Amino acid sequence: MTATVVLVALDGPENAHHAMPVAKRFADLRGGALAVSAENSGVAILAAAADHGAGLIVMSAHSADAPPAGAIGEAALAVLCGAHCPVVLVGPAQAPDDWALGKVLAPHDGSPTVSDGLRPATELARAAGAELIVLQVACDTRAQETGSIGSPLYLDQIQHGWPAWSREFLHRLSCICPLADVRVRLLVGHGAPANETVRVAKEEPADLIVLAWKGCWDAGRASTLKAVLRDAPCPVMVTRVLGS
């Protein structure tokens, strides 16, 4: 893994401990420097990230005493929308001082775009010796992108097609997102993607959730991302991918 500067944004003194254990661990895993920004606005945090050449931004999901009405705070949203690198958002009590990366949960819709968006998570899992849990949720809406692979046809009799399907799924994933030396486990869920993601994250339990996002936060868009950010039991890494 190429050494990367990790910027930790401490946009409120009471929130420093939320993000710092995660940022320190990521800096160690990436073999890079840890830069600290005490700015309290998204614009200033993004400027600091640019000045340091940061390849990863870690910050609190919000700096208010109580959770905001939306999924995250104003500064975190500005950083999420303007960052040119992955952003890790850490909520209160999501990362203890001894936080470590043992399990990475990556929801996947079966599309090549999401496979590409999981590269940073795969690199971190490899560096940490962590398990990468890839979760595909069977729902009414399937990825329409060319090269996508949907969930098995018979979820109530998944053992009939599981070996062939899982081999094909992991083969397609590895063609885009290298999986060499990474422990990978493939799971299939059913229902609302956000609900399944949060459920699996709690049951495993996961240390990090990674979500590929197309960059639109408008009303009616990014519903899965917003719900996961609101309810996740662990830090969430958001990677930007190309989208329509």
Residues 74 and 119 in one domain: no
115, 162: one domain: yes
Looking at the structure, tell me whether residues 132 and 213 fall in a common domain: yes
Q: Which domain covers residue 14, as residue numbers?
A: 5-90
Q: Which residue bears the tokens 């990230």?
A: 49
CA distance 227 to 191: 14
| pLDDT of 244 | 46
Confidence of residue 92 (pLDDT cuts 50, 70, 90): confident
Q: What average pLDDT does the structure give for the chain? A: 87
Q: From 61, 90, 119, give the residue that closes a domain.
A: 90
pLDDT, tens digit, for every residue of 18-56? 899 999 999 999 888 999 998 889 999 999 999 999 999
Q: Say whether both 214 and 116 belong to one domain.
A: yes
Task: Indicate whether 78 belongs to any domain.
Answer: yes
Question: If DSSP states are collapsed to H, E and C, what string results for 64-128?
Answer: CCCCCCCCCCHHHHHHHHHCCCCEEEECCCCCCCCCCCCEEEEEECCCHHHHHHCHHHHHHHHHH
Alpha-carbon distance values, 107 to 4, 175, 209, 240 (Å): 25, 18, 8, 14
Please indicate, yes or no, if residue 27 is contained in any of the structural domains. Answer: yes
129-188 confidence digits (pLDDT tens): 999 999 998 765 666 677 778 766 555 555 556 778 888 889 999 999 999 999 999 998
Predicted TM-score (pTM) of this structure:
0.91
Same domain for 212 and 111: yes
Residue carrying structure tokens 């999986």: 179
230 and 151: one domain? yes
Q: Among 66-70, 117-121, 205-209, whose mean pLDDT is lowest?
A: 66-70
Q: Are residues 24 and 55 in the same domain?
A: yes
Q: Do 155 and 232 sit in the same domain of this protein?
A: yes
Same domain, 219 and 123: yes
Are 42 and 117 contained in the same domain?
Answer: no
Together in a domain, 221 and 182: yes
Neighbours of 4 (CB within 10 A): 21
User: Which residues have C-beta within 8 Å of that of residue 56, sequence separation ≥ 6?
Assistant: 4, 5, 6, 7, 26, 30, 85, 86, 87, 88, 120
Domain boundary among 90, 112, 134: 90
Domain boundary among the residues 90, 112, 137 is at 90
Instruction: Say if residues 196 and 189 touch (Cβ distance below 8 Å).
Output: yes
pLDDT at 160: 56
Query: In this structure, what CATH number is given to the domain that contains residue 232?
Result: 3.40.50.620
In-domain check, residue 96: no
* Same domain as 150, residue 221: yes
- Angle formed at CA 91 by CA 223 and CA 107, multiple of 5 degrees: 45
Maximum Cα–Cα distance across the chain: 55
